[in-house]
Amino acid sequence: MVPLTTRQHEMLVAIQDSQEAHGYAPTIRELGARLGVASPNSVLRQLERLQRNGYITRLPGKARCLAVVRDP
């Protein structure tokens, strides 16, 4: 298992919190705002790493189609 960076862990927690509170995942911009990241591309790169390492699944072209498949 690939270890998570601090930012990736924070992102997973933010996704899980949103899903528990609202029933759906946050958008890329919402994640960035919560984590204090101004660039959506930076958030997207982290999400791609999380997906590649098996922590989340995503549906391309959908803003809120994130699912945590492995806890941090």
In a domain? residue 64: no
pLDDT at 17: 94
Q: What is the CATH number of the domain that holds 44?
A: 1.10.10.10
Q: Give the length of the chain.
A: 72
Range 2-11, long-range pairs (CB < 8 A, 24+ positions): 2/53, 4/55, 4/72, 7/35, 7/46, 8/46, 8/49, 8/50, 8/55, 8/72, 9/72, 10/35, 11/35, 11/43, 11/46, 11/47, 11/50
Over residues 18-44, the pLDDT tens digits come to 999 999 999 999 999 999 999 999 999
pLDDT at 67: 84
**Sorting pLDDT into bands at 50, 70 and 90, what band is 70?**
confident
Q: What is this structure's pTM? A: 0.86
Task: Look at the chain and report how many structural domains it folds into.
Answer: 1
The boundaries of the domain holding residue 12 are: 6-54
